Amino acid sequence: MIVRLTIPILLLSMILSACGPVSVGSLADPKIEDPLTLQPISPTPVTVSSPTATHSAEETRYQVTATLIPTETKEPTPTKTPDKRLKPEEWQNWPVIPQVSAGARAIFQKGQSLGNNAAAFIKVGDCESTPTWFLGDFDKPDYQIAKDYQYLEAIIKNFKGSYERTSLAAKSGFNAASVLSPFWADPKQCEKKENPLDCEIRIMNPSFALVTLGTNDVWHEEKFEENLLAIVEHLIEKGIVPILSTKADNLEGDHAINLIIAKVAYEYDLPMWNFWLAVQDLPDKGLQEDKAHLTWAPNRFDDPLAMKKAWPNRNLTALQTLQSVWDGIQ
C-alpha cells in the first residue's frame, strides 16, 4: 500500500519540477505566504523495490478466500445389482430344491452366536409333518437309502434325532394360527403361556425349521399371511433359518396360499422348497381322491413304482432341500 501512495506523489513532483521554480511575484495574491506553496518543490527520489513473495494481510485474506471456494463434485451413482430371482407370481417355475442366499446365511450365523444347535431342525406344520409319514424313517437304524442317493447319508447323520421326533409344533389339524396359540401347547412339555412354536424351539434349540403349513389354512385364508409372517419373523429373531414349503393341493382353487408362501420367501430372501412342482408329473398330481392328502408308498427311492406316489417324493426332496441348505450356509 505504501508503494501505491508514493508513486502518485512522485509523478506530481516531477510535473511541478518540470514547470520550473515558482516565484512569489508570479502569484495572483502576494499575501499568500504558505511555505508549502512558495518554496520550490524538488523531486524526491523514490526507490521501488522488486515484488517479493510477501503479501499484505488484505491480499493474503483474499487469496485464502479464493482457495477455499468449494468445487462442485458429483457423487458417483451406485450401481444396483440386478435381482435375477423369479418373482413370487412365477412361483410355479421356482425350482423344487432351493438355493441358499446371503440372507439365510446371516440368519444361521446369528443363530450360532446365540448358541443354536447346528445339527438340529424342527418341523412346523400339520399331520403331514408328523414322523409317521414325514422323515421318520431316516432315524431308524435299519433304513438303507438307495444307492443313487447315498450322497444324502451325510445329511441324515448330521441331523440325527430330528427326523423321528414328534414336533410339538406339528400336529394333526394344525394351521398357522394353532402354532402361535398357547391353547394348543402340550401342557406336559410346555411352560405356562408358551405356544407350540416356542415350546419346540426351547426343547430342540434348532438352527433350521421346515415350515409346511397351508392345507388347513384354506378355511381362514385371509389370516394366513399374517400368521405366517409372525412365524417367520419369530424364527429369524431366534436365529433359526425358516425353510418354507409350497403345498401339493389347491383346495382354495386359485393357489392363493402357495402364492403367499412364495411372497414371504421372496420378501425375506428365504429358501423355499417347491414341493408343489415335485408332484406335478405324478398320477393325480400325487393327491388322493379328497384332493388334500398325499398318495403313499414306502421310501424306496430306487423303486419306480414307489416313486409314482407322493410320499417318497416328499421325503426325498425334503432331504435334498436340507442338503442344499446345509451346503449353502457353509
pLDDT at 32 over 70: no
Q: Which of 16-30, 128-142, 149-163 has the lowest mean pLDDT?
A: 16-30
pLDDT > 60? residue 28: no
Domains of the chain with bracketed CATH: 100-329 (3.40.50.1110)
pTM of the model: 0.76
Higher model confidence: residue 74 or residue 93?
Answer: 93
| Residue 81 backbone zone (phi > 0: left; psi -120 to 50: alpha; other: beta) | beta
- What pLDDT score does 35 carry? 37
The DSSP secondary-structure symbol of 163 reads: S
Q: Tens of pLDDT along 238-263?
A: 999 999 999 999 999 999 999 999 99
Q: CA 172, CA 196: separation in Å to the nearest integer? A: 13
pLDDT score of 297 more than 70 = yes
Looking at the predicted structure, is the pLDDT value of residue 43 above 60?
no
φ and ψ at 299, to 5 degrees? -80, 60
How far is CA 266 from each of CA 131, 175, 303, 316, rounded to the nearest angstrom? Answer: 29, 21, 35, 24
C-alpha cell at 168: 410339538
pLDDT digits (tens, 9 = 90+) for 204-244: 999 999 999 999 999 999 999 999 999 999 999 999 999 99
pLDDT at position 82 is: 76
pLDDT at 9: 38
Q: What is the pLDDT of residue 80?
A: 63
As to burial, measured by CB atoms within 10 angstroms (0-12 exposed, 13-18 middle, 19+ buried), residue 163 is buried
**Confidence band of 330 (pLDDT split at 50, 70, 90):** confident
Q: Supply the angle between the helices 310-329 and 102-113 in degrees, to the nearest 10.
A: 70
